[in-house]
Every structure is written in C-alpha cells, then in structure tokens.
Amino acid sequence: MTTTYHNNSGLWADFWQEAIQEGVRRGPMNPGFWNHMAGKYERNKDLKRESERLETIFNLLKSTGIILDGARVLDIGGGTGALAIPLAKSGARVTVVDFSEGMLQKLKERAQKEQVPIERTILSSWDAIDLEKEGFKKQFDIVLASMTPAVRTPDDFRLMLEASKGVCYYSGWVKRKWSPEYYELYRDLFHEEHREGTHGIYLPFMYLYMLGYQPDIVLKQDEWQSEETLDEIVETVSGFFGVTKHIDEDKKIKIREYFARKTDNGVYHSKTMVTTGMMVWDMRKNCNRDQTPVLL
C-alpha cells in the first residue's frame, strides 16, 4: 500500500494560469490605462455606494478579530486610496503599491488634502516586487487586493499570501455587463460577439479552499454610472477592447465616430451592471487539505 497526497491546489493553479491568458499587457494590464482613468475616479464616485462598500469591507476585516489601529497594511494596486485612506484614518500604517504614476499622484493629493499619513507608496507592478528586498515577507497584519489587475495570476496571488502574517482581503469580478453600446460597437468593429474573459473571483477562491483556507465571502450587485468626455470614452473603450484585440488608429477613429453620435453635449453617460465578490481569510488558520493522505 502506498501513501500519496493530493495536489489539488497545484492543478488548480495550472488551470488558473491557462485561463487568464498571461502575457497580455494591454488595456487594464498596462499602467497607461490607469493613468488615463485616474482623473475620472473622484468625479464619478457615488458617495452612498462607496460608504456602503467601505462598511462591508471593514465589517469583513473586523470579523476576523483584527484590530485596525496600529495594524501594518499592504494595499496592492491601491490606486487613488479608496481603501488606504479610510484605513489610515482608522490608525493603520498603510503601504501602497501601484504601477500607475497617475493613480499614486491622486492618492498623495487626497492624503495631503485630508491630512492622512500614508506610510509608504511604491511605484511598481506587484509581480516585480522582491518581498525579501523590500522587507515584506510575512510582515503585514492585513494585505489587500481590491478590484485590481495587480493580482491576476496564481504567482501574483502567492506573493500576496507570502506578505501576510495575519489577514488577507481580496475582491474581484463575478459578473459585469456593460452598457449596450459597448456590445454593439464591438460587433461592428470585430464582426463577432464580445465575450467576457475568465477572470472571476472563483479562481482565487477555489485556490484558497484547496490550500486549506476557508474565506468568508460576500457578493454584491450594483449599478455603476459614469460620465466621460468623448476623448475619455475613446481611451476607455480602446483599453478594454485592447485586452484581446489590436486597436490601431483606424479602429480608434471608428470608436470616436461611434461615440460622437452617443454623447450629450460632449458627455457620454454609461451604466454598467456588476456583481462583485469580497472575501477575507486568516493566514494563521489552515486545515491543509492538500496534505490529506490518499491510500493507493
């Protein structure tokens, strides 16, 4: 009789890697896209929705027993500070890593305006961070990755786990449905239907479960509304379509012509129906499912 062990997490990581088409560094996987987006974040913020979202996230974090005051927090892909600044206001010592200079500049401006100390900001993609060199390995009480392309692959996710000595929080897509114009334009440009990529929260959730963690998860459905100038919507759509398609100048001209007909006094109004998932888990609590023996 031979004793062997499951390798469920390894097999799932292989599937995850294949599913996300690694190697594509266009659109939201490129810092230039987020430099463009940085200026729109505050303008399109829904204060009521943001307050409800923060309450849900803080309740999830506090459900683990973590104390925010004095906690060392790493915010991966922290952007303009949607989580970093409220956490710093609660007494946390926050480090933010983001590959967008525009996003970090908005964060610094907001922190200065609201007189909130952010301990450190690092301009870098997450996968380029050397945990040992930065002194990040198992050093943070809370590690966050909220709706960010920074933690996209199993390797990115493993780096996140290795930085935590306490609690982790991750949020990502369950479902996203754009305004109808996006789909109509996509058909006109590429003569096929638009299909969402395989990038849902189920990928890291299943990976965590197979590693032996039991994340608490909350799903939230919402409608996101935004207003963009013609120049902004052309760059936004070019970025999202550019993840899987080559967008040359001819395509951009067609995108501009299309949305020029859809704007109202030079402004395009969009509505996106989204379902997102938020999950939290404690790195100190693990039942080691992959180490369950199998007798052969």
Q: What is the pTM of this model?
A: 0.89
Q: For residue 1, what pLDDT is reported? A: 43
Contact 10, 289 (CB under 8 A): no
Q: For residue 3, what pLDDT is reported? A: 44
Which residues of the chain fall short of a pLDDT of 70? Answer: 1-6, 21-26, 41-44, 197-199, 289-296
Angstrom distance (rounded) from CA 200 to CA 219: 12
Q: For residue 33, what pLDDT is reported? A: 81
Q: For residue 213, what pLDDT is reported? A: 94
Give the other-Cβ count within 10 Å of 167's Cβ.
Answer: 25
Q: For residue 158, what pLDDT is reported? A: 97
Q: For residue 186, what pLDDT is reported? A: 96
* DSSP code per residue over 93-135: EEEEEES-HHHHHHHHHHHHHTT----EEEES-GGG--HHHHT
Give the other-Cβ count within 10 Å of 126's Cβ.
Answer: 25
- The backbone torsions φ and ψ at residue 168, rounded to the nearest 5 degrees and listed phi first, read -120, 150
Q: For residue 26, what pLDDT is reported? A: 66
